[in-house]
Amino acid sequence: MASLNPSRIWQTTARAIALAIMTYGFASLTTLPADEWIKLQKGGHYQFLTIQGVVVAWLTMAVALVADFLPSLILLKAMKRALFMIAMPLAVLITSVYWTLLAFTPHLILTPDPATTVLTFPSTVPSCQRIPLRIDLALHATPAISLLSDFVLFERKYPKSQARYGATIMAAIAGLWYACWVENCAQYNGVFPYPFLTQSPFTVRITIYAGASTLVLVSFWMLNALHP
């Protein structure tokens, strides 16, 4: 194990803080009123793209933190770089879409009101339920902010070949995985985790999955291109 030099103390501290906040957000899911209902469904909280994004972001930061203490392990650095390639743009997409929909069309992302639509969740779940702001920020802001900051301040830019081919493969795999996963869960549960998916026919959902995957890829290309 290598000792940290003074110039890397801030880097390691920032990563540890990000890990702690994301851990808090994930652990706090059990305190939400809808937790028991969600756990009864296939996929549980992992139906939500947000949670999968938090998990990938957490793994990325965890690997980066371990690599700070074991810099001689090349495999850890390679894992960190590969995870960053999907975790960072995915977190940016989740944050951008979530807060935009929450501000302007919350009914597309929050639980719909049983009194106004037949596409409802069980009545035991409060309609249009908002989670506490501190948990909301831990889940829907911290991953993007911490990964973006880490990339700009502590990581080097990806070479063109990795950005072009590696990122494309990662985005395609991630998009295909989530599309298959959430469709499978919805067949069992009878409802999607997000109302806008429940309200969309299959062809529209396919377009959404493809569009989201494309946005993740383009976001990565833009962020990498803007890296100083």
**Domain parsing of the chain, residue ranges:** 6-226
pLDDT of residue 109: 86
Give yes or no for residue 49 having a pLDDT over 50. Answer: yes
Give yes or no for residue 81 having a pLDDT over 60. Answer: yes
Report H helices in 28-158: 35-39, 49-69, 74-104, 133-140, 142-154
**pTM over the 0.85 mark:** yes
**DSSP-assigned letter for residue 178:** H
Distance of CA 44 to the CA centre of its chain: 16
Is the pLDDT higher at 58 or at 107? 58
Please answer whether residues 83 and 63 qualify as being in contact, where contact means their C-beta atoms are separated by less than 8 angstroms: yes
Q: Which of 17-21, 34-38, 64-68, 72-76 has the highest mean pLDDT?
A: 17-21
pLDDT of residue 2: 54
Written as six digits, the tokens of 94 are: 């989740």
Give the chain's largest Cα–Cα span: 60
- Candidates 51, 146, 140, 157; CA nearest to 99 is 140
Is the pLDDT higher at 38 or at 146? 146
Give yes or no for residue 122 having a pLDDT over 50. Answer: no
pLDDT of residue 3: 57
* Cα-based torsion angle of the residue sequence 106, 196, 209, 137 in order, rounded to the nearest 10 degrees: 30
pLDDT digits (tens, 9 = 90+) for 180-224: 999 999 999 999 999 999 999 999 999 999 999 999 999 999 999
Q: What is the mean pLDDT of the chain?
A: 90
Is the pLDDT higher at 128 or at 29? 29
* Distance between start and end Cα atoms, the chain: 31
Q: Which residues contact 126 (CB under 8 A, 6 or more apart)?
A: 33, 34, 111
Written as six digits, the tokens of 195 are: 């109302």
pLDDT of residue 124: 44
Each residue of 83-101: b (16+ CB within 10 Å) or e?
bbbbbbbbbbbbbebbeeb
